[in-house]
Structure 1
Amino acid sequence: MSEVSGFQYSLAIIAVAMIPSFGVMAQPLSLSELQRLSQPVNAALMQRYESNPAAMLFRDSVSLSSFAISGEYDRQDKPVMEQLGDGSDLLGVSAGSYTRLGAERVVWGNASFVTGTYRSVRWTDYIDYNRVAPYVLGDEAGGDLSTRSYRFSGGYACGFSRWTVGVHAAYRAEIAYRNRDPRVKTVVSDIDIALGGGYTVNDHSVIGLNAGVNIYNQNCDLDFYNPLNEINTYTLTGMGTYYRRFMGNANKNSGYSSFGYNIGFQWLPVSGQGFAATIGYTGYRMEQQLRNYNNLTLGYTGNDIIDLGISYRLQFGGGIMIQPTIDGNMFRRKGTENIFGSSAGSSYDRIGSSSPYRFESSHFGLSFPVRFEKGNSSMTLTPDIAYESEKESYADPLRRLGASHVISGFDADFSAVSGKSWLWNLSAGVSYAKADPKEEILTDLEPDTPLGQCVLSNYSMLKADRTAFNVSAGISRPVMNFIVSLRVAYRLTDYIGEGLRHGAAVTLAAEF
């Protein structure tokens, strides 16, 4: 697909996503409504409704649609993880709509197209590394990956009596490629389907259950234009280990397939006030397949994810609101490698398996946002503290790495409507993460080799103390039946003693 046709295709998808919003054009969005929707506490609460398509009926009383063009810039003095590169340059166009069709019906849709470059990606010939690791094909040379990504989704919810039902579907397609040896062409398809139900307990609360499935596929073609190159491709198995039997350039086509499922429970307020709680579980098995070896499954991972969130909103006289919030997630990955005996051509007999690889991570945070409102102005102050942990291990040879961080932070957000024609927004935040490295065991790792250096470099970034600072500014103004907004943001992270990471984003949007 050419760049021109790809862009035309993305515009067609975005036009479809905007269809639900056409019925609300007669009632333009006001600046005060946009100000309320963009406040941090409201944006965070609305995300909880999005976990269940049935709960979307109660997400908000206002219809909102948008069209946006955005650019993102990311640079790292030293890669936080070499498999993810040392930065990116991305340009995107997107549209979204949440439209109320009445008191008991709501429809929504989103679509986006993103193109750009992931810089200096090494030791993986795939994208979505955090999803498919550790069983990847990779090489030392690496290089920039060009990408084009299409995403669209939509859903519908309706209520009858005290019951609510909803359905949601999403699709993502992405292609990434490299124009130098090793020349990679990777294609991803990712489908989600979810169903949900809800029951209104009383005038203030609704409970809900949701369930969904995910189907994921990634296919990677590898080619070398220079037949005399000395670039070796490794079948990596985690923490610097690799399957020597399949090392080299004989396998030039491989990929992943997975089937996943998720379930969740919610207790949510009908009006935004009061108690909110969500918990969800996601599980999936990701298989790596070597196409040139008769679709041999070299390894697979079993993955378990638990997410939870609890908050309670209290409104006081004088325009003061508090919303103490607890958020957490836990992730566990178990890697299994198949063992093969004799071969007949490109077919191999599987004679056993072992599960030497483990990865675990967790994050728990407590925040206490306080919002002050007076007239057309709003100020939200949010102190927070969090604990995060990451552990990775391999059984033979024994390797074990890990680190935890205690993170404290403070964010401030200010918005104001002036002259009934302008909406101003300023926000800033700072955080500090203190590291506690775990015992380091790297049996038989060769630190002078490029692969050994990759393991050590990634670990040095993981166990570093870090400080982060972010600032953003936005301005919005009504133009005809639209509100045109310009937002800019900048983030700086200092991995103390290792390097800096800079990130910036610019978004121009029309909302209605």
Structure 2
Amino acid sequence: MRLRFLTLLTIACLLPIRIWAADTLHIEQKLLSEYNHTALFHKQIWQNSAIRYNLRPFSLTTTSVNGLYEERGSAALVQEGNGEKNFNIKVNSFVVLNQHSRLFGTASYRNGRREDVVWNENSDFSLLYPYVVGDSIGGYMKEEEYKFSGGYTYRFGKWAGGAELDYRAVIAYRDKDPRPRNIISDLKASLALSRNLGEKYILGLSVQARKYNQRSDIKYLADKGPTSVYQMLGLGMDYVRFAGSQTSSRYTGSGIGGSIDLLPVGKNGENNGFSASLRTDYFHLTKELVSINYAPINEVKNVDISLETAWTHQNREWKYGVNLLAALQQRTGVENIFGDPTANVYPKISSVDQFKNATQKIALKGMVGQSLYGSRRWGWTLLPSVGYGQTKPEYKDNGRYVEIASASGGLKAQSLWKVSKMLLSASVAGGYTTNVKSEYSLPGLDTQKSAGSALLSNIDYLSDDHASIALKLRGDYVVNKQYALFLSADWLHQEYKNCGGTDRIEVSLGVTF
């Protein structure tokens, strides 16, 4: 499977080359346009495949080989591990077929492992929580991920239509007891439509559907035999009736979503002016225990709403912008209650909404900069930001809850130099996040047991003040009119007041054409 995927990935890299005969823009001009383009300042709106027609007026493909190393120590959620190492290959392509149509897509392969994962033997914790299968032993988790996405948009008069398909497959496992093996398939499909409103704005609508599956099986090969696993319910609770030996589970989910988007456009394709994107997604997930006839013991109902607004202005020399993002997530967890089994069939007799988590986030970001243009050899950008976030998970039956709120501020400075056939970019960012509110009530929690101490460790991490600094260096070397090679390195360090420091390093080598 890996060899077949890498062959397809190579084909995906080479397919856009045949289009380039009709694309006369020099690769250096394309790179400068990408560095100076304010479109990257607002991201949500470009999820609309019809509006993506206006992303850029030229074809561009990037292929890269990347390596990532991260070490987090105590500053991590225990269910997600405290470190990561992976190798990945990525291809991202946007092709202008003609003046009416655009083709775009991505492909990637990732191979790596997460370290010290406990109380979670599944993958995609943020999607499944709190209903994971957990134990106190855990360990590393090896992962292979394959991703493909492809889309097409066509413009006819004042209208444009688009469609996109996205597929992700994951295999995650551990070759040491306990030995989970998780197989994931995640499919998304979207349709979109947009219309020009006069000469200054485009209004777009999109709809999306999603289908998700994860099968998880745990095996034990050591002579000492199996240990107990638990069906977690959130905030240190577990489904006592099914604790012990239920080591096979299945998660099935489906979702729908949509957006309404407003994008400013100018005569030359600039996105100067006010933009807005309102998006909402609903996702329903069911957890089933395989060995008892796929009894659906838990359900998750998740609603996400996000609003991104921005104002940008760019001329030949200067660029300015303000971006506001507000997001709300409402998550409800359902426990199904079963009667006495007959022939291993558990009849469901009732359902109770026990878990709830409300999360809010708001972030404000500014931009001011001077573009690299004409004979100018240097450009710069400043990006100040402030934000506020709050989360409150609750377990109704015993009155447990945790409420954490934090505020943050930061500044990022970017610079770009043109030296002969080289484009050199550098950025430095610093920020600080401080806790505004941290309170919890956990009646009946045994802090001496592993599950209780893991919960307290998560609370300490999420409520801890921390400072961060990030550095990024990148060099693009123009080989000829069509191709440029690049090398980049990113480093992020976070220093927590009580949980210690974290480091994340990523190195990339690639080609742009």
- Looking at structure 2, the residues matched to 92 and 316 of structure 1 have their Cα atoms a distance apart, in angstroms, of 37
User: How far off its partner does 1:414 sit?
Assistant: 0.3
Which residue number corresponds to residue 358 of structure 2?
360
User: How far off its partner does 1:227 sit?
Assistant: 4.9
The answer to whether 1:474 aligns with 2:474 is: yes
- Looking at structure 1, the residues matched to 20 and 44 of structure 2 have their Cα atoms a distance apart, in angstroms, of 25
Which residue number corresponds to residue 124 of structure 2?
128
Match of 1:246 among 229, 242, 245: 242
- Looking at structure 2, the residues matched to 40 and 51 of structure 1 have their Cα atoms a distance apart, in angstroms, of 17
Which residue number corresponds to residue 27 of structure 1?
24
- Looking at structure 1, the residues matched to 96 and 355 of structure 2 have their Cα atoms a distance apart, in angstroms, of 48
Which residue number corresponds to residue 139 of structure 2?
143
The answer to whether 1:265 aligns with 2:260 is: yes
Relative to structure 1, the CA distance from residue 464 to residue 210 in structure 2 (aligned partners, 3 Å threshold; closer, same or farther) is: same
Which residue number corresponds to residue 415 of structure 1?
416
**Residue 281 of structure 1 contacts residue 304 of structure 1 at CA under 8 Å; is this kept in 2?**
yes
**Residue 265 of structure 1 contacts residue 278 of structure 1 at CA under 8 Å; is this kept in 2?**
yes
Match of 1:331 among 314, 329, 332: 329
**Residue 32 of structure 1 contacts residue 417 of structure 1 at CA under 8 Å; is this kept in 2?**
no
User: How far off its partner does 1:28 sit?
Assistant: 6.0
After superposing the two structures, state which structure 1 stretch, 198-207 or 173-182, moved more: 198-207
**Residue 187 of structure 1 contacts residue 220 of structure 1 at CA under 8 Å; is this kept in 2?**
yes
After superposing the two structures, state which structure 1 stretch, 269-278 or 463-472, moved more: 269-278
Structure 1 outlier segments of 4+, above 3 Å = 25-29, 38-42
Query: 1:426-447, CA deviations, whole angstroms, 9 ceiling, x for partnerless residues?
Result: 0010111110233310010000
Which residue number corresponds to residue 378 of structure 2?
377
User: How far off its partner does 1:11 sit?
Assistant: 3.2
Query: 1:397-456, CA deviations, whole angstroms, 9 ceiling, x for partnerless residues?
Result: 21111211110100000012112x000000010111110233310010000100000100
**Residue 158 of structure 2 contacts residue 195 of structure 2 at CA under 8 Å; is this kept in 1?**
yes
Which residue number corresponds to residue 172 of structure 1?
168
**Residue 361 of structure 1 contacts residue 391 of structure 1 at CA under 8 Å; is this kept in 2?**
yes
Which residue number corresponds to residue 394 of structure 2?
393
For the residue of structure 2 that corresponds to 1:255, the secondary structure is strand
Relative to structure 1, the CA distance from residue 40 to residue 502 in structure 2 (aligned partners, 3 Å threshold; closer, same or farther) is: farther
Residues 9-408 of structure 1: matches in 2 within 5 Å? 9-16=5-12, 18-24=14-20, 27=24, 29-39=26-36, 41-45=38-42, 47-229=43-225, 231-249=227-245, 251-270=246-265, 271-315=270-314, 319-373=317-371, 375-408=376-409
**Residue 18 of structure 1 contacts residue 65 of structure 1 at CA under 8 Å; is this kept in 2?**
no
Relative to structure 1, the CA distance from residue 32 to residue 376 in structure 2 (aligned partners, 3 Å threshold; closer, same or farther) is: farther
Query: 1:13-67, CA deviations, whole angstroms, 9 ceiling, x for partnerless residues?
Result: 341364244312563642242133135843233x344211111111111210011
For 2:69, give the aligned amino acid: Y
User: How far off its partner does 1:141 sit?
Assistant: 0.4
- Looking at structure 1, the residues matched to 282 and 10 of structure 2 have their Cα atoms a distance apart, in angstroms, of 31
- Looking at structure 1, the residues matched to 13 and 360 of structure 2 have their Cα atoms a distance apart, in angstroms, of 35
User: How far off its partner does 1:320 sit?
Assistant: 2.1
After superposing the two structures, state which structure 1 stretch, 34-43 or 274-283, moved more: 34-43
Which residue number corresponds to residue 447 of structure 1?
447
User: How far off its partner does 1:266 sit?
Assistant: 0.5
**Residue 263 of structure 1 contacts residue 282 of structure 1 at CA under 8 Å; is this kept in 2?**
yes
User: How far off its partner does 1:337 sit?
Assistant: 0.1
- Looking at structure 2, the residues matched to 344 and 92 of structure 1 have their Cα atoms a distance apart, in angstroms, of 49
For the residue of structure 2 that corresponds to 1:38, the secondary structure is helix
TM-score by length of 2: 0.95
- Looking at structure 1, the residues matched to 402 and 262 of structure 2 have their Cα atoms a distance apart, in angstroms, of 38
For the residue of structure 1 that corresponds to 2:371, the secondary structure is strand
For the residue of structure 2 that corresponds to 1:141, the secondary structure is coil
- Is there any run of 5+ residues in structure 1 with no aligned partner, and where? none
User: How far off its partner does 1:99 sit?
Assistant: 0.6
The answer to whether 1:494 aligns with 2:492 is: no
The answer to whether 1:426 aligns with 2:430 is: no
**Residue 41 of structure 2 contacts residue 323 of structure 2 at CA under 8 Å; is this kept in 1?**
no
User: How far off its partner does 1:314 sit?
Assistant: 2.2
- Looking at structure 1, the residues matched to 439 and 483 of structure 2 have their Cα atoms a distance apart, in angstroms, of 57
For 2:179, give the aligned amino acid: R
- Looking at structure 1, the residues matched to 145 and 226 of structure 2 have their Cα atoms a distance apart, in angstroms, of 32
For 1:31, give the aligned amino acid: E
Which residue number corresponds to residue 438 of structure 1?
438
For the residue of structure 2 that corresponds to 1:50, the secondary structure is helix
User: How far off its partner does 1:492 sit?
Assistant: 0.5
**Residue 220 of structure 2 contacts residue 226 of structure 2 at CA under 8 Å; is this kept in 1?**
no
The answer to whether 1:504 aligns with 2:505 is: yes
After superposing the two structures, state which structure 1 stretch, 450-459 or 264-273, moved more: 264-273
Query: 1:53-108, CA deviations, whole angstroms, 9 ceiling, x for partnerless residues?
Result: 11111111121001110001110121410000011001001112101112211001
Cα RMSD for the two superposed structures:
1.5
**Residue 401 of structure 2 contacts residue 441 of structure 2 at CA under 8 Å; is this kept in 1?**
yes
For 2:426, give the aligned amino acid: L
User: How far off its partner does 1:205 sit?
Assistant: 1.3
User: How far off its partner does 1:259 sit?
Assistant: 0.6
- Is there any run of 5+ residues in structure 2 with no aligned partner, and where? none
**Residue 20 of structure 1 contacts residue 108 of structure 1 at CA under 8 Å; is this kept in 2?**
no
Aligned residues with identical type, % of pairs: 24
> How many equivalent residue pairs?
504
- Looking at structure 2, the residues matched to 21 and 397 of structure 1 have their Cα atoms a distance apart, in angstroms, of 62
